Structure 1
Amino acid sequence: MILGIDIGTSVTKAALIDRDGTSHNHASTNSALITGPNGHVEQDLDDVMDSVARVAREVAHAASEPIEAVALTAQGDGLWLRDAEGAAVRNPLSWMDARASDIVARWGEGGADSVTDRVFRLTGSGVFPGCHAALLAWLAEHEPESFEKAAVAGYCADAVLQRLTGEITVDASDASLPFLDVRTREYVDEALELCGIANWRHLLPAPAPVDATFSLDAAGAELLGLPLGTPVSSGPYDLQACSFGAGAEHAGDGTVIIGTTLACQVFTHDTTNKPEFEPAGMWLCTPDPDLYLRVMPSMVGTAGLDWLLSMFQLTPSDLTRLLDESPAGANGVRALSFLSPAGERAPFVDPLARGQFTGLTIASTRADVVRALCESVVFAARHCLEVLGFDGELSASGGGVRSSAWAQLLADVMGRPIWIPHEAQVGIRGAAQVAWKRLGTPVDTDAWRTQRTRLDPNLDAHAALEAGYREYLADLAAARAQWNRA
C-alpha cells in the first residue's frame, strides 16, 4: 500500500491506498492561513510541515502492511520561496493572495498587445494575482531582498518534498503555469521577460522527469516515522490528481471539482488554444508526455457556500434540506459567485470581479439565497466547460458533490450524466495511482474506473434551469462591464 498525503490550502489529509484503489486509516488536520490587509494570504511552511507529520504518523502507525512509498499532492500556484536547505525565506504566499491585483490589471491593458495576451500566446496560461508570475513581480517591486536569500521559487508540493528528501525540483504540473512550454517542458524566457522577472529565472527549478521518484532522507524519515530511503513520489498537483482519482485519464475525459475552488478540466492531446479563449486557465503537463490537461480553475467553489452558510448560522449538513426547500430558479433570486478578494481567474481573468445577489424581496428565504449561490457555482462550471469545448464523459468530485442535491443540480444543469467516485479521497487516490506507475508497477486503472456511481440528469429540471443559465450569462456580461467601467 501507499501512504498518500494531500496538502490542501487549509487542511492536510492522509490515507493508505490499496492497489485496488480503496483507502484506509484516514487522518486530517488544519493548517493556518495568515490573512492581512489588501488581500494578503500567507502560510507558515513549518506549520504545514507539522501538519504533514501529524497525519502521516497517525496513518502509518495503523498500517497493517509495509508502506511501499509516499505519494504527495498539494495545492498549486502561490509562491513558496526557500533557501538551499528548504527553510522558508519568508512566509509562502497563497494562490488566494490578492496583493498583485494591480500588477495583473496593468498587465491586462493594451488588448491583444498586453502582457497578459502575449504570455498566453506563448504558454497557453493566463495570469492572475495568486500565480507565480504576479507574485514574483510583486516581490521584485516591493521586497527584492527576499530573492537575495532564496535558492528556489517553488510551490507547496516541492517545498514539502525538499524538506522530506533534500531534493530541489518541481513536478511539471506545478511548473506549467505560467512560464512553461508544456510541449517541451522548458521555461519560456520571453514570458519571464514580459513579466519583468527574467533576472530571477535561476530560482525556477528544472521540472522533474515524468518517472522521477525520490527517497526519504534522515530528516524526512524521522519526521514521518518511516524507514530511511522510503520512495517518495511528488505530484501531480491536486487538480490533476483529483481527475485521476475520479476516474478521468483519457483524452476527452472531463472533471468538475467542486472544492474550495471550482475546477473544470479536460484531458487532451491538442495544445492549440481555441480562438474563443480569453487569456485564462492553464495547460498542465501530465505524467504522459503526450497528454495534457486543460484547466479552467475558478477562484471560489465551496468556500463561497461556507461563507454564506456561516452568515446564516447554518452548516453544510443543512445544504440538502435548503436545496429541497427552494425550486429551480430560487424563486427569482440570482447570484454571481465571484467572492474571492483576488477576483476571478477562469474562464476569464479579472481582479475586480465581485459577487452579487439580485432578485431579492422580503419574501425571499435563506433557502432561496443558498440555492441561488449553488446554482451560480454550477452555472460557472458549465460556462468553463463550454469555453473548453468539452463534450465527453464527465466525472465530479469535491465536497460539493457529497451533497446529493448539489450533485444532482450539476447533472441537471449540464444535461448529461456525471460519474461520482465512491472514494472521497480522490486527490490522494490519484497521487497514489501516479506513484505506482513511477515505481514501475502500475495499477489496473480500468478497474478503478468501475468504482463510480452514474448520476443521470432530470430532463424536466434541465429544461427549467436552462433559462437560469442564460440569465446567468447575461448577468455576468453586465457585471463585467460594471467592474471595468472607467
Structure 2
Amino acid sequence: MGADETWLGIDLGTQSVRVLLVAADGTVLGSGSAPLAGRREGARHEQDPQGWWEAVCAASRTALGPLPDVRVGGLAVCGTSGTVLLTDGPGRPLTPALMYDDGRAAAEAARLREAGLAVQDTWALPKALWLLAEYGGEGARITHQPDVITARLVGGPVPTDSSHALKTAYDVEAEAWPEVPGLPTGALPDVVRPGTRLGEVCPAAAEATGIPAGTPVIAGMTDGCAAQIASGALRHGSWNSVLGTTLVLKGASPEPVRDATGVVYNHRAPDGTWLPGGASSVGAGVLAARFADADPATMDERAAAFEPSGAVAYPLVASGERFPFLAPDATALLLGDPAADADLWAALLQGVAFTERLCLDYLHHLGAPLDGPLTFTGGGARSAYWNQLRADVLGRPARVPEQTEPALGMAALAAYGTGTGSSGSGPASGLADIAARMARVRTVVDPRPGRTALFAEPYARLVDELTARGWLSAPVAAHARARLDRDTAQS
C-alpha cells in the first residue's frame, strides 16, 4: 500500500452511521458519525433507508473534512446482518427497511423451514417475503442494507455481497440461490464475493458525500464480519468475540464448521476460506435495561467484591436464544437472590462470560479450530474489569485492539479489494496481512491463576439448568463439563 494512500470504511449501525478514514498502518486520520432513527413497536423494528444515505453524507463529510485533498484508495460498506427492504429496478427504496431483529415474519419463516430451508424467524428471507406480501412485489428487488448505499455511491443498482446474502438463504458453498417457494422471478439480486469491485463513486455522490469521484467502491461484509477483520482474527483458529448489545463470535477456518441445528453458520471469506460463527441474544444490553442510570465504571468496581456472585444469570436481552443453542422460547434466568445491586451487576457480567464460554464449548464440540488467539471487541471491551473477568472464566488470554470498530474492517477490505493488499504469498494472506497491520493490539489480558476454578461451580450450575429446561442438549452439556474439568485442573 502506498504511504500516502488512505481507505474509507463505512459502518451502517443500528443507532448511527460511522465513517473512518484509515492509513495503511491503521492510523485513523478522520472519523465521522451521524445518528439514525428507527421505529420500534412490539415485534416491529424499522428504519427509513433515506435516513441511511443522509447519515452517510454527513458522516463522510466530517471524516474527510480535515483532509479535503486526501487520496482515497477505495471504500467498503458494512451493515447489520439480516436487515432487508425492497427496491425498484434503479435501486430506489420501495419499502421501509426491516431491521435485523424485526420479528414479524415468523409465519413466513415456518413455511420456509417446512420447504426445507434452514432459516430463523428474524433472517432476511422470511422478512423479504413478508414485505412482498405487505407491499406487493411487481418489479421489486430484495435488497440488503449496504446495497442501498453502494447503489447511491456508484449511481446505479449493484449486486449484493454473499456475506449479507447469507441470511437471505444464499448458498455460500454452491455460490447460488436456492429455490424459494412463493418468490417472484427476478426478485433476488446478483451476488458477488466480498472484496469485489462494484464501481466507482459517481460525480453526484461525490458532491453529496465529499468522497472523491472515481474512488473504487468494494463489496463489503456484515458488521460482525467487519468487526472480525478489524480485530485481525483472520488466521485459521483465531476467534473474535464481539460484545455489544448482544454477543457475536466469529472465527476463521479452512473448512466450514458443520452444524445440523443451524446455530453456527459460515460466511465465506473473500479468499474462499470460511468465517464460522454465531450470534447470541445474551449481551451488554441487559445492563442498560436493568441499570439505566448507573455508572459502569463504578458498578464494575463494586462488583469485584462478588466473585463469584451469589446468583447465576443467563442474561438474555430479549426472549429466545440463537447461539450456543436454538431455543425460541428461552427466557432470561436468574438463579438465586443477589445480595445487592452490585451483586446483581456481577451476576450479569459473569452470566455473559459463562455464555461466552458455552459458545466456545459448543464450537469445540462441533470440531471448530480454536487454537489461535482470541480477541475481544465491541462496546463491552471498553471495560477492563469485564475483560479480565471474561479471560478468567474462559481460562485463556485475550487480545484487546486499540480500534474495535467495524468501519476499520471495511477500510482493510477496501485495501484488499482494490488489489493493493495482495502479497507474494497470494490473496489469501493479503487480507490477513492488511488486517494485522491495521489492527493494533492495545493489551493482552491473561487469566489470573485459580480464577477459572473459582467460577467452575456457577458455570456448571448454569449448564445443568439450561439442560434441565431442554434448551441445551445433553451431549453438548457433557462436552462443556469435560472441558471445564480439563481447564480447572490446569488453572
TM over 0.5: yes
2:176 is the alignment partner of 1:186: yes
Q: Secondary structure at the match of 1:203?
A: coil
Which of 385, 404, 423 aligns to 1:424? It is: 404
Please list, as runs of the form range in 1=range in 2, the aligned pairs for 1:339-358 lying within 5 A after superposition.
339-341=317-319, 343-358=320-335
Q: Distance in 2 between matches of 1:146 and 1:300?
A: 36
Paired-residue identity, %: 27
CA drift at 1:169: 1.2
- 1:288 counterpart residue number: 271
Kindly indicate whether residue 151 of structure 2 is the aligned counterpart of residue 154 of structure 1.
no
Provide closer, same or farther for how the CA distance between residues 299 and 163 of structure 1 changes in structure 2, counting only shifts above 3 A: farther
Shift of 1:437: 1.2
Displacement of 1:236 in angstroms is 1.6
In the alignment, which of 152, 163, 186 is matched to residue 163 of structure 1?
A: 152
Q: Does 1:454 align with 2:434?
A: no
**1:57/1:225 contact within 8 Å kept:** yes
Higher helix share: 1
Aligned partner of residue 15 in structure 1, secondary structure: strand
Q: Cα–Cα, structure 1 residues 284 and 377, in superposed 2: closer, same or farther, change >3 Å?
A: same
Stretch deviating more after TM superposition (91-100 or 23-32): 23-32
Residue by residue, what CA displacement relative to the aligned partner does 1:371-407 show, whole Å, maximum 9, x if unpaired? Answer: 2112122222222222122522211101101100111
Match of 1:309 in 2: 291
Offset of residue 168 of structure 1: 2.3
Q: What residue is the counterpart of 1:123 in the other structure?
A: none
Unaligned runs of 5+ in 1: 109-113, 121-126
Residues 25-424 of structure 1 mapped to structure 2, 5 A cutoff: 25-37=30-42, 39-63=43-67, 65-104=70-109, 118-120=116-118, 127-140=119-132, 142-143=133-134, 145-148=135-138, 150=140, 152-165=141-154, 166-189=156-179, 192=180, 196-197=181-182, 199-200=183-184, 202-213=186-197, 214-271=199-256, 273-274=258-259, 277-289=260-272, 291-310=273-292, 313-324=293-304, 326-330=305-309, 332-341=310-319, 343-360=320-337, 364-389=339-364, 390-392=369-371, 393-424=373-404
In structure 1, what is the Cα distance between the partners aligned to 2:96 and 2:312? 39
Structure 2 length normalisation: TM-score?
A: 0.85
- Residue of structure 2 in register with 1:124 after alignment: none
Give the Cα–Cα distance (whole angstroms) in 2 for the partners of residues 85 and 449 of structure 1: 37
State the TM-score, normalized to the length of structure 1: 0.86
Look up the equivalent residue of 2:301 and give its one-letter code.
Answer: R
Shift of 1:350: 2.9
In the alignment, structure 2 segments of 5+ residues that lack a partner are 1-5, 422-429, 473-491
Distance 1:25 1:128 in 2: 38
SS at match of 2:95: coil
Amino acid corresponding to residue 433 of structure 1 in structure 2:
A
SS in structure 1 at match of 2:136? helix
SS in 2 for 1:148: coil
- Quickly say closer, same or farther: Cα 1:246–1:481, change in 2 above 3 A: closer
Q: Are 2:8 and 2:74, in contact at CA under 8 Å, matched by a contact in 1?
A: yes
Find the aligned partners of 1:447 and 1:467 in 2 and give their Cα distance: 40
Q: What amino acid is aligned across from residue 157 of structure 2 in structure 1?
A: E
Deviations 1:4-36 (CA, angstroms, capped at 9, x unpaired): 211111121112111001213222222112112
Equivalent pairs, count: 448
Distance 1:383 1:60, change over 3 A: same
Cα contact 1:76–1:238 (8 A) shared by 2: yes
* 8 A contact 1:338–1:355 mirrored in 2: yes
Counterpart CA distance in 2 for 1:252 and 1:359 is 37
CA RMSD, Structure 1 to Structure 2 (Å): 2.3
SS of the residue aligned with 2:291? helix
Closer, same or farther in 2 for the Cα pair 1:283/1:378, shift >3 Å? same
CA 220–299 in structure 1, closer or farther in 2 if over 3 Å, else same: farther
Q: Is the 8 A contact 2:242 2:376 kept in 1?
A: yes
SS at match of 1:380: helix
* Separation in 2, partners of 1:380, 1:63: 44
Runs (4+) of structure 1 exceeding 3 A deviation are 101-108, 137-140, 315-319, 443-452, 478-482
1:208 and 1:481 map into 2 onto residues whose CA distance is 37
Paired residue type of 2:379:
G
Partner Cα separation in structure 2 for residue 71 and residue 133 of structure 1: 24
8 A contact 2:246–2:317 mirrored in 1: no
Aligned to 1:111: none
